[in-house]
Structure 1
Amino acid sequence: MRKADPAGRSVLRRSVVGQRRDVVTGAVLGMAHQTGEALVPVLIGLAIEQGVVRGDFPGLLLWLGALALVYVGLSFSFRRSARAGERASVTAAHQLRVRLTGRVLAPEGGADEGRLPGELASIATEDARRVGAVTMAVIVAVSATAGLVVSAVALLRVSLVLGLLVLLGTPLLLWLGHLLSKPLERRSETEQQRAGRASGVAADLVAGLRVLKGIGAGPAAVARYRRTSRDSLAATLRAARAEAWQSGVVTILTGTFIALVALVGGRLAARGDIGLGELVSSVGLALFLIGPLSEFAWVNAELAQGRASAARIAGILDAPAAVPRDSRRPAAVPRATEGRLRLRGLSHATLRRVDLDVAPGETVGVAVTDPADAVALLRCLGRRADPDEGAVELDGAELTALALTDARAAILVAEHDADLFDGTLLENVTAVVPAVAGARSPVTVADALAASGADEVARALPDGTATAVTARGRSLSGGQRQRVALARALAADPPVLVVHEPATAVDAVTEVRIAAGIRDLRRERTTVIVTNSPALLAATDRVVLLETGRVTADGPHDRLARDNAAYRTAVLT
């Protein structure tokens, strides 16, 4: 956390400065409220001095009228200050969520590396809320400071000793409160990390619940979540104990300080150095001080938690990009992309100097002996990562020379585990528009549904393509989700389509139909099918075999299956 502190402070500062209008409004009105609260015991003392000690009834009525006006003012200012503070807090948290969402979804990627979706959701909700609450803490801190200053000035007018006691004792008390918040800050960071991890594990388990039940892995998944949840609970209890310990100690110190002020005031009254009204004002001010000092204890706790959350948010906002941002003027994608794809000496992760040429309109299958090779290839083709060596070229231009959005529009990589979204089946299929600007795609929705076998899915649903699909497609089976996701990729009709294992969750008959559908629908468009499925590979123009990160075979599926032992092992075993 120490390394993230500067970035965390920047997040806090930007959140507060971004809401400066509401923060200033809330602080000014809060100061007015605290000033009015501090004046209440002073006015009561003056009323007692005039009406009781001197017997001045008109003077008593005058001070009581002033007291009534102060009460009206402090009530109004409190409500308006609280409203401005809440608005600043909620707005700051919302803007942070927007920034976090934008960073996670940014084309250059990198923000979600090493983080589960549930953890990202926890940061975007709870951590953003805690950072937003810092704006309210600033308002409360400024308001409480005004109350302390007015109280100190009033006590100085009553007695120099009382005034100095408050002026010197308050900073010492605040410093001690700041020191006591340090353990809470550390434990709050751990608490949020463990809670985010638990949320991430829970989200993953829920997403794969059907698969876990199918393979009988439910007990192991429950045991895993139980361990993670217990770690989160332990961290939360440690943070709660730290907060309780801090609050308790600060309360004891505050009570001792207030008792000291009251004791000194009482001794001064006993000696006759101050009058009855001044004694009442002094005791009232001493009791009033409990409020501002308690608020400072709350402010310290909020700042401690806000700093910890800001560091976690900064970790996402400042995460290094998976691929460089477009720092130079990108080359334009040709208006009519031919779809000529070339891999030249490509090395990345497990890939070692891969050379591959795909002609425009050709359908090429890629079989692998190691799934990691497929992952590395897909990341480079989709420009989720740039090659360590070599290049990926589209129509003679390196992908790194193109804008990220243009490169990904020209080469669409359809992952086998692509998610569906909340909406109808038709809305999921038509979610991606044709990527080539100004072009009208010859592929219709009906064509895409038929080629992917998703038309059978639609016919099996109660409302056909108008049937609502729940988030991540959980209302569909695995095979149905896979066919709808493939239909979406086919409907996009990109110049180059890369599909990864599009038929692992369907039966053999449907798999053969999908293979024929992709071949026919993409006949004049460049297509790369990364799969070890014999049915899909048989429908391609040719197949290349990636073995130990290198291309070791290239040819038609039938010939490779007959002559290449490594290919037979990878595809037919």
Structure 2
Amino acid sequence: MTRKDVLRSTLLNRRGLVAAGTALLCTHQLCEALVPVVIGRVVDEAVAGSRSAQAGLSDLLLWIGVLAGLFLTLSNSYRHGARKIEAAAEWGAHDLRMRLTERVLDARGGAEEGRLPGTLASIATSDAQRVGAVVTAAGAGLAQIVAMVVAAVALLVVSLPLGLLVLIGAPLMLWLTHVLGRPLESRSEAEQEEAAAASGVAADLVSGLRVLKGIGAEQVAVERYRIPSQRALTATVRAAQARGAYEGAILLMTGIFLALVAAVGGKLALDGDISIGDLTAAIGLAQFLLGPLQVFAWVGSELAAGRASAGRVAEVLSSPELVGPGEMAGGGLRPSAPVGIALDDVASGCLQQVDLRVAPGEVIGVVARDPADAVALLRLLGRELDPDRGQVKLEEVPLSSLHPDQVRARVLVAAHDAGLFGGPLLESIESDSGSDELTERVLAASAADEVIASLPEGRATVLTERGGNLSGGQRQRVALARALNVDASVLVLHDPTTAVDSVTEARIAAGLRAVRAGRTTLLVTTSPALLAVTDRVVLLVEGRTVAQGPHPELVRENETYRSTVLS
């Protein structure tokens, strides 16, 4: 997808509104252009005419009536046209936001690669809005072209030289507007890039504000934000300078052009080639042309910014998916039976050779000496990535043959940094697949019941954004309860107890074992308390499976395991 595709779809998706709004705006400009012509006729036919006073009065009233009709038409057409074109612009921006949201949430992933959440938010808001504004600019621009054509035709009727001057000068002005807008477009694109980068860093820092305060790293955070913020400021100033220079140049060219039209019209009137009414119409049309030409400066600016934003939107929408859609519509999986999961000679990124088999209902620990290996493993198990070599299988069915949604319906990967949604606390825990009985067991297993008991409003507590009114340990227990309550066939937990005390951790370990009985569970962690309740543990070192066995045995016999888990 290219920026042209984005702009074309934005203009055509609401083509009915766009066409109606543009037609009404063109009608408004047509009437505006005819006003000087009618006034000229009033001067010639009703005021400067040589007929009787009674005939002159009749003509005067006739042309005043025509003038009133023009104003009535142009007033209503502008009011309704502007409303429709603005509605089309807002709907266009909304449609883009929905497409961006669908792309970001696509189970096959890819849109978020290399982009901070704040960057994606900036593209889905300000960039989408700028692209939507292109609809308004396009409608207004077409209306101005109609106005200039009508004015040129009227001037041709008044005087051939004046009409030719406008017909030659107006396209030249439009071409110069396009040429002068190119630097503005590139600077607008740079402005949006830097602003999105600064927004992404800011969102990242704000989400971790409590942690930053806890370790006294506020000043480090300020310094980290200062650089992208300064770049965004510099890019904004450069874009503003380009915009000012562009609009100033357009205004200067417009003034010169209109002065030339007025000068030629005055000379023709002095020579007697046109009447006083024609001169009045010509001067009125010349003054009228100032409006369309000034609007073109705004249109060019909006189109330049819109094209730059459309490019950024197109990059997200055309981001390649990280995994394919899969080939097996039914998944080839038994709906309710316990399932096992296996990795056979898997290599992906930092993972070099991972062999792992988990039988249905087994609880397995995975200890990764390098945290990057743990993250890579989680992405493979959740089918966020397909391995470069080997296969990941669910009940002997390769994950690569399943749609990511099919995988995630059976395999739940609960990341270490999973966030909570704002709203009632229990709504963050309850799921469609969990019963009331299961929820109560889950609350006890995750020690989230202690969290509820410690809160002043208990189960009626309303969480703020990302669970900001809970401590780190409380958030972690609520997130664990949410993951357990899904009752997934395969549950993968990554460091679910790093923020809780050792007594609570021991309780959670025992609760996990009990509530997941008969269900396949992988605990990717270095917590001795959690590893102690597993059936066996697999050790990954430098992306390879180097050992596996019961936790006590590995602690006793494997120095690498012992130093990783007990250090």
TM-score (norm 1): 0.96
Query: What's 1:570 paired with?
Result: 564
Query: What's 1:233 paired with?
Result: 233
Taking the aligned partners of 1:327 and 1:269, their CA distance within structure 2 comes to 79
Of 449, 453, 465, the match for 2:443: 449
Kept in 1, the 8 Å contact 2:327–2:401? The answer is no
1:400: Cα distance to partner? 1.1
Q: Does residue 1:249 correspond to 2:212, yes or no?
A: no
Identity within the alignment, %: 54
Query: What's 1:38 paired with?
Result: 33
Q: 1:391 to 1:441 in 2, by over 3 A?
A: farther
1:59: Cα distance to partner? 0.6
Taking the aligned partners of 1:32 and 1:544, their CA distance within structure 2 comes to 75
Taking the aligned partners of 2:205 and 2:83, their CA distance within structure 1 comes to 40
Residues 154-553 of structure 1: matches in 2 within 5 Å? Answer: 154-326=154-326, 329=329, 331-430=331-430, 432-434=431-433, 444-553=438-547
Kept in 1, the 8 Å contact 2:368–2:541? The answer is yes
Kept in 1, the 8 Å contact 2:331–2:406? The answer is no
Taking the aligned partners of 1:340 and 1:57, their CA distance within structure 2 comes to 98
Q: Does residue 1:80 correspond to 2:74, yes or no?
A: no
1:327: Cα distance to partner? 5.7
Write the deviation string for residues 23-66 of structure 1: whole angstroms up to 9, x where unpaired: 11011111110010011111111111122211612111110110
The one-letter code matched in structure 2 to 1:140 is A
Taking the aligned partners of 2:237 and 2:107, their CA distance within structure 1 comes to 39
Gaps of 5+ in 2: none
Write the deviation string for residues 304-333 of structure 1: whole angstroms up to 9, x where unpaired: 100000000011000011111236646333
Taking the aligned partners of 1:467 and 1:39, their CA distance within structure 2 comes to 66
1:403: Cα distance to partner? 2.1
Taking the aligned partners of 1:529 and 1:205, their CA distance within structure 2 comes to 29
Query: What's 2:19 paired with?
Result: 24
CA RMSD of aligned residues (A): 1.2
Q: 1:309 to 1:488 in 2, by over 3 A?
A: same
SS at match of 2:315: helix
Query: What's 1:557 paired with?
Result: 551
Query: What's 2:44 paired with?
Result: 49
Gaps of 5+ in 1: 1-5, 435-439
Query: What's 1:437 paired with?
Result: none
TM-score (norm 2): 0.97
Kept in 2, the 8 Å contact 1:333–1:407? The answer is no
Taking the aligned partners of 2:263 and 2:412, their CA distance within structure 1 comes to 78
Taking the aligned partners of 2:165 and 2:185, their CA distance within structure 1 comes to 30
Taking the aligned partners of 2:123 and 2:107, their CA distance within structure 1 comes to 20
Write the deviation string for residues 447-482 of structure 1: whole angstroms up to 9, x where unpaired: 111111111111112222221111211121111111
Taking the aligned partners of 1:245 and 1:326, their CA distance within structure 2 comes to 53
Taking the aligned partners of 1:327 and 1:343, their CA distance within structure 2 comes to 20
Taking the aligned partners of 2:405 and 2:209, their CA distance within structure 1 comes to 34
SS at match of 2:2: helix
Query: What's 2:105 paired with?
Result: 105
Taking the aligned partners of 1:256 and 1:447, their CA distance within structure 2 comes to 81
Write the deviation string for residues 404-425 of structure 1: whole angstroms up to 9, x where unpaired: 1111111110001001112111
Write the deviation string for residues 148-202 of structure 1: whole angstroms up to 9, x where unpaired: 0110110000000000000000000110010000001000011001101111111
Query: What's 2:10 paired with?
Result: 15
Kept in 1, the 8 Å contact 2:269–2:279? The answer is yes
Query: What's 1:3 paired with?
Result: none
The one-letter code matched in structure 2 to 1:65 is G
Kept in 2, the 8 Å contact 1:337–1:395? The answer is no
Kept in 2, the 8 Å contact 1:333–1:406? The answer is no
Kept in 1, the 8 Å contact 2:325–2:402? The answer is no
The one-letter code matched in structure 2 to 1:232 is A
Query: What's 2:92 paired with?
Result: 92
Taking the aligned partners of 2:402 and 2:226, their CA distance within structure 1 comes to 47
Kept in 2, the 8 Å contact 1:441–1:493? The answer is no
The one-letter code matched in structure 1 to 2:221 is A
Taking the aligned partners of 1:447 and 1:193, their CA distance within structure 2 comes to 49
Taking the aligned partners of 1:334 and 1:259, their CA distance within structure 2 comes to 82
